[in-house]
Structure 1
Amino acid sequence: MNNKREVLKKFFAEIQSEQLINGTILIAKDNEILYKGAFGEAELDSKQKLKINSIFNLASVSKPITALGIMLLVQDNKLSLDDSIEKWLPDIPYKGITVRQLLNHTSGLPDYLELFEHHWDKSKIAVNQDLLQLLIKYKPDRLFQPNERMEYSNTGYVMLALIIEKVSGLSFGEYMKVNIFLPVGMENTEVFCQRLTDQTMDNYAYGYIFDVYKGKHVLPDEFPETNFVVYLDGIVGDGAIHSTVEDLYLLDRVLRNGTLIDETLLKEAYSPSSPRQAGYSDYGFGWILESEEKKGRAVWHSGGWPGYATYFKRYIDNDLVIIFLRNKEQDFDFEYSILQSIENILFDEPYEKPKVPEFQKAKILHPEILNRYVGEYQLEEHNELIAKVTMKEQRLFLELPKTMKLEMYATSDNEFFLRSLSVTINFTSDGSNHYLTINDGSDSQTAKRIESKIEKSDDTN
């Protein structure tokens, strides 16, 4: 154990000396903390340093905590996992979905980001009830029938927060505070909607994204691709819980000793949903599930929201936990390599110090050049899948099946990249046909244009 402490100490000393990350981390085994540290700044303008008790937006690491709120209601016999959700949300236009299916992402509910993008007044900050009203009014199609397969659903976890409110008679934030945060001793944890309430928080870690035009980190409110953080600030349940590495470690401890949730219910939470689909990890109640012969069973979740990346992994057979909270945007592959190195150290495997890639800066292209690429592209290896390239307000976007729309940034007249992802997009032509190729460093996919232009309204909305 002492050897691992020394290796981790050396690893993070090197990272700190080169200022490779901006965040906090805690690693523990067998009820002993092996390493904890804070690196970088909580606020760039004031140069305020991060502390170990700095408070971060957990993003989707909120999901296992929201799931615990539901499980407590089940444990108290106020709710059943197999209740139909219309019992608690009678006006919802999707019948036959159960609470269990919301928890394990087998509900088939449509994603809400596109719904708000097309049907919401962006001058207003939305709350959960607004999402329910949009679902009732516009009734977007289900993605699939309940329990047909598993597909990650932020919408489902917003509905879980509404159900908690309906069953308990408390706001989601108050219920979580009274029933989880205070009993566990999580004094620096709360459901926090900074822009909605205009409140401030001590020890708050502001989240920063990289502005590819200015070449520096800025608040996401100031950047067009990420300014949805403003009008979606009141949405909770799928995210919006704010916490520290130490508070999350306290939560890990009470889940391990069984003082919060009984063993039978926890066993169910750590069990996979019945449908299986290639390309997805097993999912329980708010946890992604893994099992390896050497490392044993693990339950974990990661989170991403403009400016924040979070990671909470619990090896339940080895009593080992890794918690990492970041508030300054980095390349996704680089962050993953840090976490992989930590895991290798803990399991006595070879590791390397990750090399941080340079941030790419973007060129501004004339709208006539951007407009050349607008259209629908059919993927050559999967003919049933269509990629859409659209232009709006002189900005170019890529929309792949079942993903949110992402802005593309130019490095040349025909090459683009996706911000904070190691992905490039190239546009080519053989004279009669037009193609786009998506390359993520390890794999590439080519698609042929089948429509020269998307409807003009996409550029004028």
Structure 2
Amino acid sequence: MTNTKVNLERLFNDIKERELLNGTVLVAKKGEILYEGAFGDAELSTYRPLTSRSVFNLASVSKPITATAILLLVQEGKLNLDDAVQKWIPNLPYEGITIRHLLNHTSGLPDYLDLFEKYWDKTKIADNDDLLMYLTKYKPERLFVPNERVEYSNTGYILLAIIVERVTNMGFSVFLQENIFKPLNMTCTQAIGVRKENIQIDDYAYGYVYDVYAGKYILADDFEESKMVTYLDGMLGDGGIQSTVRDLYLYERALSAGKLINDKLLQETYKPAVTETETPFKYGFGWILEDDKEKGQIIWHSGGWPGYVTSLRRFINHDIVVIVLRNKEHDFDFDQHILLAIEQAAFDEPYELAEEKPPLERAQAISLDILKRLVGNYALTEHPDLIIHVFLENNRLFIKFPGSMKLELYAKTEKSFFIRGLSIDVDFTTEGSKELVRIVDDAEVRTAERQ
């Protein structure tokens, strides 16, 4: 254990010296915290530094906690995993979906982000009731029949929060406070929309994104692409929990010790969904599941919301916990590189650390006439039935991959673009009479032809 501490101290001294991380970290093994620290700023305008008790928006690391709330009700006999969702939400216009389907992302419900971008009055802040109203009013088409496959659905987790409220006659935030946060002494944690409730949280870590045109970091609220952080701030269940690394560790310890959910239900929680078609990842009830040859069973979740990148990883066989909360946007691959180095140090393995952060790309302004020429549907060469859509919205160019949400394209040149924060290049080219788009993701290159 002492060697591990030394290894971690050396790593984080390097990270601090090279300014490779803006966030907070906690690493623990067998119930002992081996490292807890903070790096960088909580508020750029005042240079207020982060502390180990700084409060972050957890983004999708909220989902395990939402799942825990549901499982507590199942444990108390107030719910069944195979209850029809319509038992608790009768006006939901989708039949055949169960609570189990919501928990493990097999419901087939479409994500709500596009729905609210299209119809919502952006001067107002939406909440869970508004989502239910919109599903009832607009009835967006489901992606597949329940249990056909796993496809990540934020919509499903908001419905879970609504079900908690219907079953208990308590607000979702109040239920979490009374049944999870207070009993576990998670004193810095609450489920709340900071903008919707117009509150100030002590030692709050504000989320910053990189303005690719101005070449500087700004609040996510002030960047056009990330305006949803304001108008979707009232949504709870899929995200919206504000917490610290220490409070998350208290939650993880209680879960691992069986103080929240009994062993039988936990075993079911950590079983991957069994679906009709092969799934791209294994998902249980609120957790992503992995089996690693050397590190054993890994139960984890990550979160991403403009300005925030969060991660809670649990290495069950070794009883190692790694929690990292960040509030300043960086390149995705670089973020993964830092996480891997932390895990390697926690396992007493040699780690590699970049000398410096890669520079974030700047975008060029391209005329609308040129962008219009790129708009179209492109069929993937290897899977012609899968279509990539390139389209304009509000004079901005977007790309939508099959089964994914739309992503904005930023121009390097008139025919070469990048996707902010994802290390993905998108190039438009021609070969003879063929008009092609090439998607370059590290070493992987996919090609699609205009239809």
- How much has 1:55 moved relative to structure 2? 0.3
Deviations 1:439-461 (A, max 9, x none): 011201111111xxxxxxxxxxx
Query: Which structure 2 residues correspond to residues 306-455 of structure 1 after superposition, within 5 A?
Result: 306-354=306-354, 355-430=356-431, 432-450=433-451
Secondary structure of 1:438 counterpart: strand
The aligned amino acid for 1:250 is: L
Are residue 35 (structure 1) and residue 35 (structure 2) matched? yes
Moved more, 334-343 or 272-281: 272-281
Identity %: 52
Distance across 2 between alignment mates of 1:293 and 1:420: 30
Q: Which residue of 2 aligns with 1:106?
A: 106
Q: Which residue of 2 aligns with 1:66?
A: 66
TM (norm. structure 1) is: 0.95
The aligned amino acid for 1:385 is: L
TM (norm. structure 2) is: 0.98
Q: Which residue of 2 aligns with 1:189?
A: 189
Distance across 1 between alignment mates of 2:13 and 2:434: 53
The aligned amino acid for 1:408 is: L
Q: Which residue of 2 aligns with 1:458?
A: none
Distance across 2 between alignment mates of 1:6 and 1:118: 52
Deviations 1:230-268 (A, max 9, x none): 111111100000100000110111112212211111111
- How much has 1:277 moved relative to structure 2? 4.7
Q: Which residue of 2 aligns with 1:19?
A: 19
The aligned amino acid for 2:404 is: T
Deviations 1:120-159 (A, max 9, x none): 2222211111111111111122111111221111111000
Distance across 2 between alignment mates of 1:433 and 1:255: 55
Deviations 1:338-393 (A, max 9, x none): 11112222334332003521111111111111112111111111101111111223
- How much has 1:94 moved relative to structure 2? 0.8
Query: Which structure 2 residues correspond to residues 153-232 of structure 1 after superposition, within 5 A?
Result: 153-232=153-232
The aligned amino acid for 2:36 is: K
The aligned amino acid for 2:317 is: D
Is contact 1:150–1:276 with CA below 8 Å preserved after alignment?
no
Is contact 1:276–1:282 with CA below 8 Å preserved after alignment?
no
Distance across 2 between alignment mates of 1:415 and 1:292: 37
- How much has 1:276 moved relative to structure 2? 6.6
Unaligned 5+ segments in structure 1 are 451-461
Secondary structure of 2:374 counterpart: coil
Is contact 2:128–2:235 with CA below 8 Å preserved after alignment?
yes
Distance across 2 between alignment mates of 1:277 and 1:215: 43
Deviations 1:207-240 (A, max 9, x none): 0000000100101111111111111111110000
The aligned amino acid for 2:5 is: R
Is contact 1:104–1:283 with CA below 8 Å preserved after alignment?
yes
Q: Which residue of 2 aligns with 1:456?
A: none
Secondary structure of 2:92 counterpart: coil
Are residue 80 (structure 1) and residue 80 (structure 2) matched? yes
Deviations 1:73-109 (A, max 9, x none): 1111111111111010000011111111111111111
Secondary structure of 1:7 counterpart: helix
Distance across 1 between alignment mates of 2:277 and 2:333: 24
Is contact 1:436–1:446 with CA below 8 Å preserved after alignment?
yes
Query: Which structure 2 residues correspond to residues 266-305 of structure 1 after superposition, within 5 A?
Result: 266-275=266-275, 277-278=277-278, 280-305=280-305
Is contact 1:25–1:324 with CA below 8 Å preserved after alignment?
yes
- How much has 1:279 moved relative to structure 2? 5.5
Deviations 1:144-202 (A, max 9, x none): 11112211111110000000011111111111001100001100000120111111111
- How much has 1:397 moved relative to structure 2? 0.9
Is contact 1:186–1:247 with CA below 8 Å preserved after alignment?
yes
The aligned amino acid for 1:281 is: F
Distance across 1 between alignment mates of 2:255 and 2:292: 21
Unaligned 5+ segments in structure 2 are none
Q: How many residues align?
A: 450
Distance across 2 between alignment mates of 1:201 and 1:251: 20
Q: Which residue of 2 aligns with 1:455?
A: none
Is contact 2:149–2:279 with CA below 8 Å preserved after alignment?
no
The aligned amino acid for 1:317 is: N
Distance across 2 between alignment mates of 1:119 and 1:364: 28
Is contact 2:26–2:37 with CA below 8 Å preserved after alignment?
yes
The aligned amino acid for 2:9 is: K
Secondary structure of 1:80 counterpart: coil
Distance across 2 between alignment mates of 1:279 and 1:409: 31
Secondary structure of 2:174 counterpart: helix
Is contact 1:209–1:219 with CA below 8 Å preserved after alignment?
yes
Secondary structure of 1:183 counterpart: coil
